[in-house]
A = this chain, B = another copy of it.
Amino acid sequence: MATLGAHKKHKVTIVGSGNWGTTMAKLVAENVTANPTLFEERVDVWVYEEEVTVPKESRHYDPGSELATKPQKLSELFNTLHENVKYLPGITLPPNVIANPDLADSCKDSTILIFVLPHQFIPRVCDQLVGKIVPYARAICCTKGVDVSEKGIRLMSEAIGMRLNIYCGALSGANIASEIAQEKYSETTVAYDPPPMDSRAPTPSGSPMSSQVDLISPSKSVPSERSARLKALPNEYPPLSHENVRKLFHRPYFHVRIVDDVAGVSLGGALKNIIALAAGFVDGLGWGDNAKAAVMRVGILEMVKFGKEFFPDSAKTSTFTEESCGVADVITSCSGGRNFRCAKMAVEKGESIFEIEQKVLNGQKLQGTSTAYEVNSFLKQQGLEAEFPLFTAVYKILEGKAEPKDIPEMIEPKV
């Protein structure tokens, strides 16, 4: 619902145009059209420009045509064909999604920035945006995972928020992109909990705003010293309430639940990959469905414990046990995800998972193995390896210091 007095609309940009980014662009574009009082019709997608030909999977493939043989700019093909022929071929995009290869231009004047970049590109892209965005913009990070090292844990949303000095929430769930792009029913979790912000921020016209339009309960996801520097959204805009944020993402085929717990949502997306490895190991032994379910359950409880231990003020049990970003994402990842499949194959073939990774993934890397190493190095540093026996078991199996058949004994509760 637009608020009385609001006469501006939110401009939305998707920063990233891979498989998941393009899927997000499609559903967000559908939603801005459905909510014309809240959002600008045009949705920009920042495309890292490259030259491509139209592949067989595209709806516009014709083996004899120029499209299939002569490389052209991805962004131009995107805007002509309304299809991301390289990263989401076969899916028609709404005409209000515009590919833009100029990063700063794509984000200019946008009040909502949706980050869907591979992990490693986030710092560099954010640095390029400093000073180029409106100071009261809000971000949602859809990149899964966290940065864990011996030094500590950094959420992707924190990395984005701190570099750009804006508030950044997170979106994660049982979300295989290709299924959502095909409008198959899915759910997701959006974590959005902006703190009270400084309403004296300069408005676009230069005059300070008279009131804080989006003051809500104090956020647990932003340290207070930083939140004091965040700029409130001018009240020319509709408020970015839970209700309006939900309208940006929720579709009949993509159900959204909104929570406050940015840490929990972010951790779920990272830690589930360790659980998927464990589930693959026991499934590879032929131990059946009881064993697989047991490992998943134990893994979910280690997620809960990890959240409580390291984000005591924010991470909530229910985020892991009740939301799509927790239990449902674990289920999906342990059904047929890469980490699960490679771990299972490694046990079945009696090879190391690194050999399987090389053979099967064609140069790509498993997320689960690096997360297992990072989490272990952090837990070791904290002296807490024994408190997370499943995460530790996975690490030891990867290191060749334990075998998959040792998992039950390693995770057996000491009574």
Contact = CB atoms under 8 A, between A and B. Distances in A.
A297 B322 contact: yes
Contacts of A290: 173-176, 179-180, 184-187, 332
B324 A322 contact: no
A243 interface: yes
Copy total for this chain: 2
A294 interface: yes
Interface in A298-336: 298, 300-301, 304, 317-318, 321-324, 327-329, 331-332, 335-336
B331 A293 contact: yes
A257 B321 CA distance: 17
Contacts of A289: 174, 176, 179, 331-332, 335-336
B293 A174 contact: yes
Given A243-B415, A246-B415, A328 B297 contact: yes
A324 B116 CA distance: 35
A154 to B, nearest CB: 28
Interface string A390-415: 00000000000000000111001101
B255 A412 contact: yes
B408 A291 contact: no
B252 A174 contact: no
A297 B187 contact: yes
A252 to B, nearest CB: 7
A184 B328 contact: no
Q: How large is the interface on A (under 10, 10 to 19, 20 to 34, 35 or more residues)?
A: 35 or more
Given A253-B408, A336-B289, A408-B253, A186 B322 contact: no
A327 to B, nearest CB: 6
A296 to B, nearest CB: 6
Given A322-B300, A413-B255, A185 B327 contact: no
A282 interface: yes
Contacts of A291: 179, 184-186
A322 B301 contact: yes
A402 B127 CA distance: 52
Nearest to A294: B187
A292 interface: yes
Determine which residue in A291, A329, A336, A413 has the highest number of CB atoms from chain B within 10 A of its CB, and name it.
Answer: A291
Nearest to A180: B290
A206 interface: no
Contacts of A324: 293-294, 297
B252 A293 contact: no
26 contacts: A173-B290, A174-B289, A174-B290, A174-B294, A175-B290, A176-B290, A179-B290, A184-B288, A184-B291, A187-B290, A187-B293, A252-B408, A255-B413, A289-B336, A292-B331, A293-B328, A294-B328, A296-B328, A296-B331, A297-B322, A297-B324, A297-B328, A304-B322, A317-B318, A318-B321, A321-B322
Interface of A: 173-176, 179-180, 184-187, 243, 246, 252-253, 255, 257, 282, 287-294, 296-298, 300-301, 304, 317-318, 321-324, 327-329, 331-332, 335-336, 407-409, 412-413, 415
